[in-house]
């Protein structure tokens, strides 16, 4: 399954840390790429450093507007999953979504354009109570991958955590460059 994420509707500065966390969740939970309209080089810098230290090739792509990418991905056969507290229950929708090959997940901020509800193949609610786009994305990615995203290796990591019941155990790969 190929998973990509697009972040829409965020407000400059106010949503920067939340957008960074959305990008971090995308990466840590097995997505390959996030598209975002906010041209914030700091977010790209943060994620670049994290790839460098913790491995993998997660990508951030800045886009001018969300609609062309959603339409392009649909044409390429991606199914569009829009996270919304108004959507269908994830407990009901997850079985269908799991069967898909390629997903573009749309993560909105406070205000999203109405049109996305029509363009989406699935409007999914992670509960019907307000919480956070960060948690909604995490739950969706966990449910559709059945937790297996956490078993995946991130190649070329300089540091790797060995899970342990107490304290910290980090493998550090020495390089000579």
Residue 75 among known ligand-binding residues: no
Chain residues in the site for a second copy (CB under 8 A): 14, 17-18, 21, 24-25, 27-29, 50, 54, 85-92, 117-118, 122-123, 125-132, 134-135, 137-139, 142-143, 147, 149-151, 154, 160-170
Binding site annotation covers 28?
Answer: no
Q: How many CB atoms lie within 10 A of CB 105?
A: 27
Q: Output the CA angle 161-167-172, nearest 5 degrees.
A: 30
Contact 116, 82 (CB under 8 A): yes
49 is in an annotated binding site: no
Which residue, 64 or 152, is less far from a second copy as judged by CB?
152
158 among annotated binding-site residues: no
Give the whole-angstrom CA distance, residue 154 versus residue 124.
28
Query: Would you say 77 or 147 has its CB closer to a second copy?
Result: 147
Residue nearer to a second copy on the CB measure, 77 or 163: 163
Tokens 């998973």, located at residue: 3
Nearest-approach distance from CB 149 to a second copy, in angstroms: 7
Q: What are the DSSP E strand ranges found in the chain?
A: 2-8, 33-36, 59-62, 79-89, 102-108, 122-125, 159-161, 170-172
- Annotated binding-site residues for S-adenosyl-L-methionine read 83, 108-112
């Amino acid at each position: 399954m190929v998973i990509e994420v697009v972040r829409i509707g965020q407000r400059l500065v106010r949503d920067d840390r939340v957008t960074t966390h959305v990008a971090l969740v995308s990466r840590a939970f097995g997505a390959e790429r996030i598209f975002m309209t906010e041209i914030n080089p700091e977010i790209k810098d943060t994620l670049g450093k994290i790839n460098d230290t913790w491995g993998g090739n997660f990508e951030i792509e800045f886009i001018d507007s969300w609609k062309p990418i959603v339409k392009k991905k649909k044409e390429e056969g991606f199914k569009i999953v829009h996270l919304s507290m108004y959507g269908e229950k994830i407990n009901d929708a997850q079985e269908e979504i799991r069967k898909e090959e390629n997903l573009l997940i749309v993560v909105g901020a406070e205000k999203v354009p109405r049109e996305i509800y029509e363009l989406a193949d699935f409007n999914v609610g992670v509960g019907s109570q307000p919480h956070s786009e960060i948690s909604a994305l995490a739950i969706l990615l966990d449910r559709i991958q059945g937790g297996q995203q956490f078993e995946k290796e991130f190649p070329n990591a300089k540091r790797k955590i060995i899970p342990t019941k107490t304290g910290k155990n980090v493998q550090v790969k020495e390089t000579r460059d």
